[in-house]
Amino acid sequence: MGSTLNDRKALIRLLEQNPLVAWAGGKGTAGVSYFSYQGGTFQTTFSVEPDSEAALEEMVRELAEWRLTEYLDRVRTQTAGFSTLKVSHANGRPILFLPPEPERSDLPEGWTDVFVDGAMYSANFVKVAINLVRKAGDEANQLPKILRQWFGPDAGAPGTRHTVALEVKDDRWHLKPLGRRGGELQLWGSYSREEIPPLFGLAFSTAIWNAGFVKRPGHIFLLATLDKSGHGSEFQYKDHFISRNEFEWQSQNRTAQDDADGQAIRYHAERGLAVHLFVRSQKKTPRGAAPFVYCGDVQFFDWHGDQPITVKWKLQSDVPDAVWSSLTRPK
């Protein structure tokens, strides 16, 4: 599966087999097809008023990205001895839901020993969930505490996509977080691409996060590399600091001011979208991929051009001397 995600043609074939066939075939919508897929184009089978087109496009794009990520994660983890469990809520507390049939056919039933962060617990596997996790000799349910330690106080809350791996190692069941929150996000801290999503309670997926512009529910992430010499000509976006508290960023070539992404950028504050700026000087270091410096949430204050758009962002704090030196030193 990993090789498929890195092969564009193979990935397209995989998505054409499912879920695009299901979406275009009306699966889950009583046989009514609201979408079609022909000649490599995925589109609606209905029309809307011109004033509603942008809102519909944004909603469909967001839902499609979420479902594609969910599908790719599910396919990736459908291996023997490994299952992905969804963190959700029941009676105001986080709980683990088991995968649907037939994926859970090989999972245990009833009380089963599991290891969590190296300690042994007893977990109760009921029909569709793990609802209780206890230590030996203690009747208290430790599951909410464990999940909140892994993902923070909003573990499993609506709008989050926290997941947990259940796997067999050395004939023992283990629970571990996928996209664990590795501490609090620190302004001017350095983070690899893979470390960024868990800091916001999100799961990392190469298909989504290997980009400079990432839009998730409630968030926009700008991952900018200042020195583009290691990029192809199609990725030569002009990103740079104007001053210690202003950053100029250029969108992808296809982005227009009046399309869904352009409107989300311009009206992010009105739409409740936080824009997080991560910047690095170069793509690589002698040790591998260079980390990004978190420059905080930024605010739109100007733009010009179209396809691509050049956007000016205002930082909430001036870049400190040490960080400024590391990001803007001559190459």
Structural domains in the chain, CATH included, are: 2-75 (no CATH), 82-178 (no CATH), 190-328 (2.30.280)
Q: Which of 85, 67, 204, 69 is nearest to 156 (CA)?
A: 85
- Cα torsion for 311, 312, 318, 319, to the nearest 10°? 40
Q: Which residues pair with 274 in a beta bridge?
A: 219
Q: Tens digit of pLDDT for each residue in 50-83?
A: 877 777 776 776 667 666 665 555 554 445 567 8
Radius of gyration, alpha carbons of the chain: 22
Residue 107 pLDDT? 85
User: Of the candidates 262, 272, 280, 277, which has an alpha carbon nearest to the alpha carbon of residue 328?
Assistant: 280
Query: Which pLDDT does position 236 carry in this prediction?
Result: 45
| Number of Cα atoms under 13 Å in the Cβ half of residue 291 | 13
Residue 315 tokens read as: 């930082």
Residue among 166, 132, 164 nearest 151 (CA): 164
pLDDT in tens, the chain (331 residues): 444 455 667 667 767 766 777 777 776 677 788 888 887 788 888 888 887 777 777 677 666 766 666 555 555 444 556 788 888 888 878 899 988 776 666 788 999 999 998 899 999 999 899 999 999 888 899 999 998 888 777 778 776 778 888 888 888 999 988 765 555 678 888 888 888 888 887 888 888 898 999 998 889 999 999 986 654 444 445 899 999 999 999 999 999 999 999 999 999 988 888 899 999 998 887 767 888 999 999 999 999 999 999 999 999 889 998 889 888 765 4
Which among 37, 19, 16, 15 has a CA at the least distance from the CA of 28?
19
pLDDT at 294: 92
**Cβ contact 94:147 at 8 Å:** yes
| pLDDT in the model for residue 331 | 47
And the tokens for 89?
Answer: 């809520």
pLDDT of residue 28: 66
CA distances from 164 to 101, 174, 286, 299 (A): 18, 10, 33, 34
Q: What is the pLDDT of residue 102?
A: 65
Q: For CA atoms 166, 168, 169, 172, give the dihedral sign.
A: positive
List CB contacts of 286: < 8 A, sequence separation 6 or more: none
pTM of structure: 0.49
Structure confidence at residue 105 (pLDDT): 67
Among 64, 62, 71, 26, smallest CA distance to 46 is for: 26
CB 270 within 8 A of CB 174: no
Give per-residue pLDDT as tens, 274-286. Answer: 899 999 998 887 7
Q: Contact 35/42 with Cβ under 8 angstroms?
A: yes
